Structure 1
Amino acid sequence: MKKILYLILILICTSQFCIAQECTIYIPNTVGTELHYEMTNQKGKVLGSYTQKLLSIKNKDDETIYSMLHTTMDGNSADKILMQDTITFRCKGNEFYIDMDQYLNEKQMEAFQNMEVKVITDDINYPANLSPGQKLKDGSITVSIEGGMMNMSFTTNITNRKVESKENMDTPAGTFKCYKLSEEIQSKTGFVNVTMRNVIWISKDIGTIRSESYNKKGKLTGITQLVKIVK
C-alpha cells in the first residue's frame, strides 16, 4: 500500500512538473499560417501594412525555435514589398522569448556590411501564466559599428513591461481573448533619443491583435491591428 501511495505521489509531482514546463506561445502554432496587419495614424489613415507567416518550428537542444517571415508592404501599393526579414521566437522551459533582433532594420544594416558590427541582445519573454498586475522582464538591443573614422551605436530598451488586464479585443479579423500589456521604449542613435509608450493586446497561439503607440506626452501616434488570418 505504501508503495502504491509513493508511486501516485511521484506521478502527481511529475505531472505538476510537466505542466510547469509548458510554454504558452503568442504566435501561430501551425506552419503556413499568415497574419495580416494594417497600420494607421491616430486619425485612421492607412500608412502601410505587413504580414507575418510562420515558416518553421524546429527543436534544438532544449529549445523550440519558431521562424516567421515578416513582409512590409508599401502604404501606397499593397502589392509592393518594401522589406522582408525573418524573425525568431523561442520556447525554453516554460517561457516564450521574442528575439530582439527584430528591432534591427536589415535594409539599413546592409550599409554597414563592410564594417565591424557587434550586437548585444537581452530578449524579452513571457512566462507560461500571465495575470493582471504582473511585471515582465525588460529587454534591450545594442548595436555597435566600427569602421575606421566612422563609429556609431544604436540602442533600444524596452522597460516597464506590465500586464494591465485580461479582456476581449475586436478587430476586422474577429474577436479575441487577450492580455493587455503596456511598455516603454527608449531608442538612442548617437545623440538622438526617442521615447514612446506602447499598449499591446496579445492572444495565445496567435500573437499581437492590436497595438497603440503614444509619444512621451501621451498622445496617440499610431495603431496597428490584425485584419486577417490566413491558414
Structure 2
Amino acid sequence: MKRLFTTLFIATFAITIVHAQNTCSTYYPMVDGAKLQYTNYNKKGKEDGKFNYTVTNVQGSGNNVSATMEMEIVDKKGKVYTSDYDIVCDGDIVKIDFKSMMNEQMLSQMGDVEMDISGTDIELPNSLSVGQELPDANISIKMKMGGAINMNTNVETVNRKVEKLESLTTPAGTFDCYVIYSETKTKMMMTKQTLPSRTWFSEGVGMVKQESYNKSGKLTNSMVLTNYSK
C-alpha cells in the first residue's frame, strides 16, 4: 500500500508539469489525443517503471480550457494502476484538481481507503526567464485504511527558481528547456525529509526530464520523456 501511494504521489507532482498547450498555455499540449510517456530510472540508471498520460475531453477556448487526463502507472514488476483527473487552464496558469485524481477508480486499486486532500496546486506561468522565482505549493493527504490505521502526508514544494535555459536530448527528441530547481519537504508518518530536484520544461511539450537528489545532492532517480505525440 505504501509503495503504491508513494509511486502515485511521484506521478502527481510530475503531472503538474506535464500538460496543456493552446492559446491558454505555452508549455502544455492540451490537445485531444496527445500522449506522453515517461520512463523512471533509479540512481544506477536502471529502468524503474513508466508513466503514460493521454489528454482527453478538451473543452473551452481562449484563456479558459479544461480537460481530462488519463493516467497509467506501470511499476517495475509490470503491475498497472490507472486513473484519470481534471485539468483546468485559467488565464495563464494551469491547475490540477488533486481531489479528482483520487477518484473511485484509483481508490479501488488501493483497497479499503478513505482519503481527504487539501492544499495549493503547483503553478507554472506562460512566461519564464532565468532567475525568476515561482510560487511555493503544498498538499496534505489524510488516509484511513480500514479499522484504525491512518496515514497522514504533507508535502511542501519550496524555493522554486528558474536556473537556466539549455538544450536537452531524450529518446523523444531534442528540446530547448528551462531548468527549474525546487525543494520538496515531506512529512509521512514518522518520516521527515527535505530533498532537492530539477525539472526541464519545453514549450509545447511540458516536462521533458526530472531529477531528484538526496540531501547530499546525489542523484536518486530521474524521469525522462521517452515518447510523445499529439
- TM bracket (short chain): 0.7 to 0.9
Change (3 A) 1:171 1:151: closer
What is the aligned-residue identity percentage?
A: 31
Change (3 A) 1:151 1:36: closer
Change (3 A) 1:187 1:103: farther
Change (3 A) 1:179 1:213: same
Conserved? CA contact 1:100–1:124, under 8 Å: no
1:89-168 matches, cutoff 5 A: 89-100=87-98, 106-107=106-107, 110-111=110-111, 113=113, 115=114, 117-145=115-143, 149-168=148-167
TM-score w.r.t. the length of structure 1 is 0.77
Q: Could you tell me how far apart the structure 2 residues matched to 1:152 and 1:42 are?
A: 27
Query: Please, which runs of 5 or more residues in structure 2 have no aligned partner?
Result: 1-22
| 1:70 Cα deviation after fit | 1.5
Change (3 A) 1:199 1:58: same
| 1:104 Cα deviation after fit | 6.4
- Of 125-134 and 89-98, deviating more is 89-98
Change (3 A) 1:151 1:29: closer
Number of matched pairs: 204
Q: Could you tell me how far apart the structure 1 residues matched to 2:193 and 2:208 are?
A: 25
In the alignment, which residue of structure 1 is the partner of 2:37? 36
1:67-82 matches, cutoff 5 A: 67-76=68-77, 80-82=78-80
Richer in strand (by share):
1
Letter in 1 for 2:76: G
3-state secondary structure, aligned to 1:156: strand
Letter in 2 for 1:166: L
| 1:119 Cα deviation after fit | 1.8
Structure number with greater Rg is: 1
Change (3 A) 1:205 1:142: same
Letter in 2 for 1:125: E
Q: Deviations over 1:12-52 (max 9, x none)?
A: xxxxxxxxxx6324332321121111111222111111211
Q: Deviations over 1:198-224 (max 9, x none)?
A: 100011221110111101121100111
Q: Deviations over 1:66-116 (max 9, x none)?
A: 22111111324xxx4421122433211222224455996945984454x5x
